[in-house]
């Protein structure tokens, strides 16, 4: 591995680390701070939905425009935040099989929902797992499509590095440091 490839790899791993920190912030620390998480003064609110597509159906049938806007941002948000995971898993793993990467995304999403339920942070919802997997699948397909179009893994690696530098890192850093969420 030459110097340029090492720099690309270190840069992409740093962007991926920032992305993981953003996921932790959004998924676990958007409603409470780390200090509030372990205090015995905190009232736990647990809500669990194990019926597939129940929340999505509720969103679609809601009559209030305000609920529809929140629903839209929830559905789209759950998809969008896992797209980079699909791309980066496909990029970093030696085993490029889509089903293996999708299984890892499913496990990560399920883990998030279980932690949210156990600690009473957010709502544990099977629909979130479904939407997160859809986002990861879109990321995997985006990687596979790039590989099909560019026909060379090194070129795809370079393209993702450039996109991460131009779009990914600025967006991630903005969301990490400028969003008004507790940290």
With 60 as the cut, is the pLDDT of residue 147 above it? yes
Question: Domain span at residue 144?
Answer: 75-151
Percent of the residues in the chain that have a pLDDT greater than 70, as a whole number: 93
Using CB atoms within 10 A of its CB, is residue 25 exposed (0-12), middle (13-18) or buried (19+)?
Answer: middle
Residue 48 located in a structural domain: no
Q: Which contacts (CB < 8 Å, 24+ apart) does range 158-161 have? A: 158/8, 160/12, 160/87, 160/91, 161/8, 161/11, 161/12
pLDDT of residue 144: 96
In angstroms, how far is the first alpha carbon of the chain from the final one?
38
Average pLDDT over residues 154-164: 95
Residue 32 located in a structural domain: no
Q: What's the total number of domains in the chain?
A: 1
Residue 119 located in a structural domain: yes
pLDDT tens digits, residue range 60-73?
888 788 877 888 88
Please, which pLDDT band fits residue 134 given cuts at 50, 70 and 90? very high
Residue 105 located in a structural domain: yes
Residue 135 located in a structural domain: yes
pTM of the complete model beyond 0.75: yes
């Amino acid at each position: 591995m030459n110097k340029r490839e090492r720099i690309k790899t270190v840069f992409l791993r740093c962007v991926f680390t920032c992305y993981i920190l953003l996921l932790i912030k959004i998924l676990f620390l958007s409603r409470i701070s780390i200090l509030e998480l372990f205090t015995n003064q905190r009232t736990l609110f647990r809500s669990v939905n194990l019926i597939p597509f129940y929340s999505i159906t509720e969103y679609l049938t809601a009559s209030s425009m305000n609920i529809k806007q929140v629903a839209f941002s929830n559905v789209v948000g759950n998809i969008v935040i896992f797209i980079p995971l699909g791309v980066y898993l496909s990029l970093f793993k030696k085993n490029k099989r889509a089903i293996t990467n999708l299984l890892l995304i499913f496990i990560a999403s399920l883990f998030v929902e279980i932690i949210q339920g156990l600690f009473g942070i957010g709502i544990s919802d099977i629909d979130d797992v479904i939407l997160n997997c859809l986002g990861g699948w879109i990321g995997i397909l985006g990687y596979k499509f790039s590989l099909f179009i560019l026909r060379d893994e090194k070129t795809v690696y370079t393209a993702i590095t450039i996109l991460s530098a131009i779009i990914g890192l600025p967006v991630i850093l903005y969301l990490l440091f400028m969003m008004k969420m507790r940290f």
